[in-house]
């Protein structure tokens, strides 16, 4: 039953891919070619970036479908657009030239052509194998005869149906096609995405450029880490100076006064001792809070999973934590992951309007994966003032990535991945 269900799902996906390949891919290919043709007239300078952006969006959607439906990973090869583009006509022309110089642009255009031809064929077979068998049985049930009597020469595949015997052969062939579809349909859809990967994935030169971009990104995040560390040290120094240190100084002065008054005014000395004891307790509490902010004790003692569970217990929203970690990851990664989860949960409580949160944490294929999901109103985005930008940069220090899925109306899912090994 599982195999049949997977075959039916693959048939539905094949029908979708075949239909979309004919419609969207053809439309985008025609619009792109027309925009490129209009560049000498000046119109194409404004329409081409729009068309190519649509093509990139369509190709990126297909990459996501390849991963979700067939576990085919297709990296994104595009060059990053300038961070501070110019405005006006000059900026539009520069954007157009920049996109045209990107080799991935021309591979996308080639992919559109392949998608509406070879991609169509690989996708259409999946639904055809599960539907075409019905016609063979319809012919075997007697429909062949009126067609033949009317002078028709009906064919079912390679069988010329002219008698009940040949009609039965058509039914047998249809049954064989049905069985074949049950076994090969998922492979056909995977083949469709593997064909797409030949053009949508980075080439060798693109991979080298991708590695260079990763090095630049890691260099940037390392600088951020150094800056953040310096800022954290200044914060600790300020908190110590304004908090615990001030209380300890006051406690020392009180003890000095007690020493002078203990014989002359025992009651006053007793009052000052009580005050000193209170200051020492408050100083100890502040020191504990300060240390907890640097590295929570439960994280050092029990590991990431228990630290996140302890964090969830203190939240005002019902939070379910699911952890599958065979052992612990490195301390720096644990700390980064913990504070990333903490910041994400804080965002959900402050902005999402959710009444339930789920945290899923597991390690597979050399990657620590954490998903934080809430049933709030959605609309979260990196760089939208939600604090996710800081989380992204924190993860970037370890070559980690952050992905946000938050449609209007929710739910919101924040996924974090950090490459690491279990100890």
Is 337 within 8 Å of 369 (Cβ atoms)? no
C-alpha 169/C-alpha 176 separation (Å) is: 11
Is 390 within 8 Å of 343 (Cβ atoms)? yes
Is the pLDDT confidence value at 234 over 80?
A: no
pLDDT digits (tens, 9 = 90+) for 75-123: 888 877 765 667 777 778 888 888 888 888 999 999 999 998 888 888 8
- Nearest C-alpha neighbor of 394 from the set 352, 343, 322, 324: 343
Specify the pLDDT at position 333: 83
Specify the pLDDT at position 243: 57
Q: H or E element: which one contains 156? A: strand 155-156
Specify the pLDDT at position 24: 92
**First CA to last CA distance, the chain:** 40
C-alpha 334/C-alpha 323 separation (Å) is: 13
Residues 6 or more apart in contact with residue 362 via CB below 8 angstroms: 323, 324, 325, 369
C-alpha 79/C-alpha 70 separation (Å) is: 26
Specify the pLDDT at position 224: 58
C-alpha 128/C-alpha 122 separation (Å) is: 11
C-alpha 271/C-alpha 288 separation (Å) is: 26
Output the six-digit token pair for 423: 């100890």
Is the pLDDT confidence value at 411 over 80?
A: yes
Average pLDDT for 128-146: 80
Mean pLDDT of the chain: 80
What percent of the chain has a predicted confidence (pLDDT) above 70?
79
Q: Which residues pair with 322 in a beta bridge?
A: 360
Is the pLDDT confidence value at 36 over 60?
A: yes
Specify the pLDDT at position 293: 53
**Which residue is listed with tokens 């996140």?**
308
Average pLDDT for 10-17: 89
Average pLDDT for 261-280: 71
Radius of gyration of the chain from its Cα atoms, rounded to whole angstroms:
32
Residue 418 CA to its chain's centroid (Å)? 12
Output the six-digit token pair for 371: 């998903």
Specify the pLDDT at position 32: 93
Assign residue 366 a region (left: φ > 0; alpha: ψ between -120 and 50; beta: otherwise): left
pLDDT digits (tens, 9 = 90+) for 293-315: 555 677 777 888 888 888 888 88
Give the lowest-confidence range in 53-57, 85-89, 176-180, 389-393. 85-89
Give the lowest-confidence range in 48-52, 109-113, 128-132. 128-132
C-alpha 148/C-alpha 288 separation (Å) is: 92
Backbone angles phi, psi at 260, to 5 degrees: -80, -30
Average pLDDT for 132-149: 78
Q: CA distances (Å), 179 to each of 7, 129, 185, in order?
A: 10, 9, 10
163 vs 296, higher pLDDT: 163
Specify the pLDDT at position 235: 57
Is 255 within 8 Å of 276 (Cβ atoms)? yes
Q: H or E element: which one contains 186? A: helix 164-200
Q: Which residues pair with 160 in a beta bridge?
A: 155
Is the pLDDT confidence value at 188 over 80?
A: yes
Give the lowest-confidence range in 54-68, 287-301, 403-417. 287-301
Average pLDDT for 281-287: 64
Specify the pLDDT at position 55: 93
321 vs 269, higher pLDDT: 321
Confidence of residue 132 (pLDDT cuts 50, 70, 90): confident
pLDDT digits (tens, 9 = 90+) for 360-404: 989 888 888 999 988 888 888 776 555 777 788 778 777 788 888
* 3-state class (DSSP) for residue 202: coil
Q: Could you state, in order of their start, the residue ranges of all structural domains in the chain?
A: 1-202, 220-294, 301-419
Average pLDDT for 124-148: 81
Specify the pLDDT at position 113: 92
Specify the pLDDT at position 192: 92
C-alpha 383/C-alpha 402 separation (Å) is: 12
Specify the pLDDT at position 110: 93
Confidence of residue 58 (pLDDT cuts 50, 70, 90): very high
Is the pLDDT confidence value at 129 over 70?
A: yes
Specify the pLDDT at position 303: 84
Specify the pLDDT at position 221: 57
Is the pLDDT confidence value at 207 over 70?
A: no
Among 177-186, 207-216, 250-259, name the most confident range: 177-186
**Which residue is listed with tokens 């309007």?**
353
Residues 6 or more apart in contact with residue 265 via CB below 8 angstroms: none
Average pLDDT for 171-197: 88
Q: H or E element: which one contains 322? A: strand 318-324
Specify the pLDDT at position 342: 83
In CATH terms, the fold of domain 301-419 is Heat Shock Protein 90 (3.30.565)
Among 38-42, 55-59, 338-342, name the most confident range: 55-59
Average pLDDT for 256-274: 71
């Amino acid at each position: 039953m599982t195999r049949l269900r997977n075959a039916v799902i693959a048939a539905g996906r094949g029908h979708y891919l075949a239909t979309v390949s004919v419609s969207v891919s053809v439309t985008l290919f025609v619009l792109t070619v027309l925009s490129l043709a209009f560049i000498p007239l000046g119109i194409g300078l404004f329409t081409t970036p729009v068309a190519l952006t649509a093509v990139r969006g369509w190709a990126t959607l297909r990459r996501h479908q390849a991963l979700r439906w067939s576990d085919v990973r297709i990296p994104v090869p595009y060059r990053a657009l300038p961070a501070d583009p110019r405005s006006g006509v000059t900026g539009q022309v520069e954007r157009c030239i920049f996109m045209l110089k990107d080799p991935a642009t021309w591979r996308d255009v080639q992919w559109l052509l392949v998608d509406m031809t070879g991609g169509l064929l690989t996708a259409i077979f999946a639904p055809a194998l599960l539907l075409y068998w019905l016609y063979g049985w319809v012919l075997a049930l007697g429909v062949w005869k009126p067609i033949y009597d009317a002078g028709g020469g009906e064919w079912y595949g390679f069988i010329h149906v002219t008698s009940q015997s040949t009609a039965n052969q058509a039914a047998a062939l249809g049954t064989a096609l049905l069985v074949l579809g049950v076994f090969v349909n998922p492979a056909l859809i995977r083949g469709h995405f593997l064909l797409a990967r030949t053009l949508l994935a980075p080439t060798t030169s693109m991979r080298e450029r991708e590695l260079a971009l990763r090095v630049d990104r890691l260099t940037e995040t390392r600088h951020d880490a150094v800056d953040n560390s310096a800022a954290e040290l200044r914060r600790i120094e300020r908190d110590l100076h304004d908090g615990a240190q001030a209380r300890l100084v006051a406690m020392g002065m009180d003890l000095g006064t007690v020493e002078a008054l203990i014989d002359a005014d025992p009651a006053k000395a007793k009052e000052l001792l009580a005050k000193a004891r209170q200051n020492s307790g408050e100083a100890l509490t502040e020191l504990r809070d300060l240390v907890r902010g640097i590295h929570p004790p439960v994280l050092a003692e029990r590991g990431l999973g228990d630290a996140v569970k302890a964090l969830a217990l203190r939240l005002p929203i019902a939070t379910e934590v699911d952890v599958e970690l065979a052992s612990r990851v490195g301390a720096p990664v644990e700390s980064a992951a913990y504070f990333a989860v903490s910041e994400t949960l804080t965002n959900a409580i402050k902005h999402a309007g959710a009444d339930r949160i789920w945290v899923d944490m597991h390690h597979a294929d050399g990657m620590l994966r954490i998903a934080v999901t809430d049933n709030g109103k959605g609309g979260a985005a990196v760089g939208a003032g939600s604090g996710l930008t800081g989380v992204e940069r924190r993860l970037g220090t370890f070559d980690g990535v952050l992905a946000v899925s938050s449609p209007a109306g929710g739910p919101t899912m924040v996924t974090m991945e950090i490459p690491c090994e279990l100890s």
